[in-house]
Structure 1
Amino acid sequence: MSSVSPFLVKRPNSKNLHPISIRIIKDRKPSYLYLGQAIKLNQWDSKNGRVKNSHPDYLEINQLIISKLSKANKSLLNAEIKEEHLSSKKIKKQMVSNNESDFFKVAKAYLKNIENRKKFHQLDIETRRVEVFKEFLKKDKLFFTEINIELIMEFENFLLSKRNLSRRTVINYMITIRTVFNLAITNCSADVKLYPFGKGKYPIKFPETQKIGLNMAEITALENVEDLTKAQEYALSAWLLSFYFAGIRVSDVLQLKWKDFIDDRLYYRMDKNSKLVSLKVPDKVFKILNKLERNDDSVFLFKELEGVDINDNRFLRTRIKTATRNFNRRLELIAEKAGIDKKMSMHIARHSFGNISGDKIPIQMLQRLYRHSSVTTTIMYQSNFLQKDTDEALDKVINF
């Protein structure tokens, strides 16, 4: 007994979407061919085994489903005609064509998934990485059988020597290649035996980065700096507000609304992971709020996003990126006037909070302030600023 049918996986993935697959049953043993597409549960027509027209790409996905069904049925029919014994796994393997084994074809599907999730900032970054990989190869097609450790190492050298990228940035490129390779394995477009990453192969490991924040004296200098232009005062207000709220990210600072402040507390949803956050409003923040310009039509604390459709994710990312760049330019000038020779940027506010908090606050409380999902993340982040114990240990050895 054999059958082939579209199948929607009931268990959602990390994006809360349900993968679409082709279920092949032969001799009562099922095998699943994943199509690299995932949708919401209410976008699936279970009766007809199709994607509903509420999905923006329903026509293309349904054509893909029909194509895969046709291939699977042909394999079953040919096996019956030739009286061959084919298992569901062998049928699945036969369905993988050379075209589907092309890295850039799978990469295109990967980028399309990012676009469908409206992660346009990520889309721009990942698209550029795929383009650079193609530039390195000097060809438009690359079979997964051609991707090995030697090729990965050559690409690494190209990024380091020809494009002068940092090792951390190089690792990000490798993660993109690894992600596409993993997707190909899931889709049966690549053999897991060819996988060039992991133990004994090419390791994906981020090098340690130096995080240097301001100290209390430097924060005080910023709070009392004089002779600033209006634009510089505005940028400093954004920086200090970020610092006072335990290093709130610049994207969240720019999206703060006046209505988010209720009964001397701030209530907002984090842009990065959609977590709801509630924080007490420090007295120093009230001073900033009183200085910011506001009229009856004002929505946001900072004017950069006024009139912007926040549902237009691509335009929103662009506007935030532009505003951050302008803030950072002004912050460099402010640092000079305050006599600070450390690097100044909006993100340094987060490092500064970590530097000053040091080991004064229990790690569990810091996790809540940083809004980290895991305390392990907090421990790793905070380790950049915990130097007291190592300093004391060094003094005990050399001070004799």
Structure 2
Amino acid sequence: MKIIAFRLMHSSERKKRVNKDGTGIIWIYAYQRGTNRKTQQKYFSTGVRVKPDQWNKKSRQVIKHPNALAYNSLLSRKMAELMEYQIDMINERRGEHISLNEFYERFTATGGKELSFASFYQMIAEQRKEISESTRQTQLNTLNHWRTAVGDTPFRELNYDTLDAFHQYLLGEEKELTTIDKYHRHVKTYINIAVNKGFIKSELNPYNNFKYDKGRARPKGFLRLEELELIELMEIKSLSSEQVKARDIFLLMAFTGLRFSDAVCIKPHNITKTRKGYHYSALMVKNRRRAKKEINLPLYTFFHFVDEEESRAQRWMKYCLEKYGSRPRAALFEGLSNTVVNENIKAVARVAGLDKHLTCHVGRHSFGTNMAVKVPIPTLQGYMGHSKIETTMQYVNMSKKIQDDVMERIRWEK
């Protein structure tokens, strides 16, 4: 790959482009010849506007203009800025030339300033198409903590001490060790991307030698069916509209096992009414980079008790369709965020008289735990969309608590 070359060019040289007043912008034309002999081209605006007869194509200078001296000085500085930025990027890569496309993307994103790890993190996070919007916002929240702790640290200063400063900041914020580990995993993801893109040498990855206490994950919370019934039958007059919507999607996850990212995307056309009852089918939102998995849920079978006319999953899906499904192609819970639901579901728990810490994922955990008592493990794995059987086994272990509680309530008599 050859070095990027730059030269000044008037708009009239680019397909004779000029404004109505006869002036045109002076551009910096950047070009690079590749190994396949094809030339890449990009244009950077200088902001200087003059008429074609005020531009000398041979000397590449402004002439016959009252501000010619100032303009030419400005053009020289902008050319030097681009060339210096290229040299800095080459030095960053230990002498390896960069492509014009990468140079253009980075220069545009940073405004010609040295690229810090935080700027790189934000640029890549905003570009990634394989992650959900909620994941993007969570990772950008971690970036805010990073900037507060260590600022816009350049790549060359990214080391063990930087990670330790970030870690000490999180400890000072009295974050739980498992939460701190989550923040580190986000940062580690973008450092690995930087390694893959050549911004950091693999052997200089600061996480190679950085160790910290990851803590122990809390036992997964869940609600028994009788507790879910308290939320389903609760008086909602005292709840706000946001809290009611949080309750509705929470119960939908608890009766169907859907992740929040899938539940928030439910559309009326995903529901098929068969002779036996309601059936839900859609493509799973998670892991967009991989081959998409299809979700197929026979809702009419989930928690269908003999003394009830229909299953609780079908009953609640019908309720949500009637309440939110006015447009067949629109998501029932369009625009709802995980964070907002988590905030509102806590209020719902209090009004329902439940002394438990509820989140969106507790709904899904409740489905898995209650189902594990009745459903074979491979079947449950399929319904929950788990890639590994070990993930499903967590719910089997959690369901033992339900079985133990049932045994404890037995009154043995001789």
After superposing the two structures, state which structure 1 stretch, 358-367 or 320-329, moved more: 320-329
Report Cα offsets for 1:262-282 as digits up to 9, x if no partner: 123111222324532111122
| Cα contact 1:269–1:276 (8 A) shared by 2 | yes
What's the offset of the Cα at 1:352?
Answer: 1.3
What secondary structure is seen at the aligned counterpart in 2 of 1:268? strand
Aligned equivalent of 1:125: 138
Is 1:332 the counterpart of 2:349 in the alignment? Answer: yes
Aligned-partner residue type, residue 104 of structure 1: A
Is 1:182 the counterpart of 2:192 in the alignment? Answer: yes
Is 1:209 the counterpart of 2:218 in the alignment? Answer: yes
Aligned equivalent of 1:193: 203
What secondary structure is seen at the aligned counterpart in 2 of 1:94? coil
Is 1:276 the counterpart of 2:288 in the alignment? Answer: no
Aligned-partner residue type, residue 219 of structure 1: L
What's the offset of the Cα at 1:164?
Answer: 2.3
What secondary structure is seen at the aligned counterpart in 1 of 2:166? helix
Report Cα offsets for 1:153-172 as digits up to 9, x if no partner: 332121121x2222222112
After superposing the two structures, state which structure 1 stretch, 367-376 or 179-188, moved more: 179-188
Structure ID, larger Rg: 2
Report Cα offsets for 1:167-208 as digits up to 9, x if no partner: 22211221233223223322333232222324x542585632
Which one of the candidate residues 159, 171, 174 is aligned to 1:160?
171
Cα separation, 1, equivalents of 2:39 and 2:126: 22
Runs of 5+ unmatched residues, structure 2: 5-31, 45-81, 99-112, 301-309, 406-414
Structure of higher RCO (CA pairs closer than 8 Å, 6+ residues apart): 1
Aligned equivalent of 1:288: 316
Cα separation, 1, equivalents of 2:148 and 2:382: 44
Aligned equivalent of 2:121: 107
What's the offset of the Cα at 1:356?
Answer: 2.1
Aligned equivalent of 1:141: 153
Cα separation, 2, equivalents of 1:235 and 1:124: 19
Which one of the candidate residues 258, 270, 284 is aligned to 1:260?
270
Which one of the candidate residues 239, 244, 251 is aligned to 2:250?
239
Q: For 1:1-400, what aligned pairs fall within 5 Å after superposition?
A: 48=38, 93-95=94-96, 102-114=116-128, 119-137=132-150, 139-148=151-160, 150-161=161-172, 163-198=173-208, 201-202=210-211, 205=214, 207-223=216-232, 225=233, 227-229=235-237, 236-245=247-256, 247-262=257-272, 263=274, 264=277, 265-273=279-287, 274-282=292-300, 283-284=310-311, 285-292=313-320, 293=322, 297-299=326-328, 304-305=333-334, 316=335, 319-321=336-338, 324-325=341-342, 328-329=345-346, 331-336=348-353, 340-358=354-372, 360-380=374-394, 382-386=396-400
What's the offset of the Cα at 1:365?
Answer: 1.8
Cα separation, 2, equivalents of 1:91 and 1:226: 61
Cα separation, 2, equivalents of 1:91 and 1:146: 13
Cα separation, 1, equivalents of 2:92 and 2:138: 37
What secondary structure is seen at the aligned counterpart in 1 of 2:169? helix
> Alpha carbons of 1:71 and 1:204: their partners in 2 closer, same or farther (altered >3 Å)?
farther
| Cα contact 1:242–1:350 (8 A) shared by 2 | yes
Report Cα offsets for 1:62-93 as digits up to 9, x if no partner: xxxxx99x979xx9xxxxxxxxxxxxxx9963
Cα separation, 2, equivalents of 1:281 and 1:183: 40
- Aligned residue pairs total 302
| Cα contact 2:132–2:286 (8 A) shared by 1 | no
Cα separation, 2, equivalents of 1:303 and 1:388: 32
Percent of matched pairs sharing the same residue = 19
Aligned-partner residue type, residue 153 of structure 1: D
Cα separation, 2, equivalents of 1:362 and 1:49: 60
What's the offset of the Cα at 1:389?
Answer: 10
Cα separation, 1, equivalents of 2:385 and 2:171: 34
Aligned-partner residue type, residue 165 of structure 1: K
Report Cα offsets for 1:281-328 as digits up to 9, x if no partner: 2223443355453699433798543xxxxxxxxxx4xx3347625751
Aligned-partner residue type, residue 241 of structure 1: L
What's the offset of the Cα at 1:350?
Answer: 1.3
What secondary structure is seen at the aligned counterpart in 2 of 1:93? coil
> Alpha carbons of 1:361 and 1:188: their partners in 2 closer, same or farther (altered >3 Å)?
same
Report Cα offsets for 1:234-264 as digits up to 9, x if no partner: 655443332221x212343333222222123
After superposing the two structures, state which structure 1 stretch, 189-198 or 203-212, moved more: 203-212
What's the offset of the Cα at 1:343?
Answer: 2.6
| Cα contact 1:256–1:300 (8 A) shared by 2 | no
Runs of 5+ unmatched residues, structure 1: 7-21, 26-45, 52-57, 61-66, 76-89, 306-315, 392-400
What secondary structure is seen at the aligned counterpart in 2 of 1:267? strand
What's the offset of the Cα at 1:370?
Answer: 0.8
| Cα contact 1:103–1:141 (8 A) shared by 2 | yes
Q: How much is the aligned-residue C-alpha RMSD, in angstroms? A: 4.5
Aligned-partner residue type, residue 212 of structure 1: G
Cα separation, 1, equivalents of 2:319 and 2:261: 21
Normalised by the size of structure 2, how large is the TM-score?
Answer: 0.58
What secondary structure is seen at the aligned counterpart in 1 of 2:375? coil
What's the offset of the Cα at 1:213?
Answer: 0.9
Cα separation, 2, equivalents of 1:135 and 1:91: 25
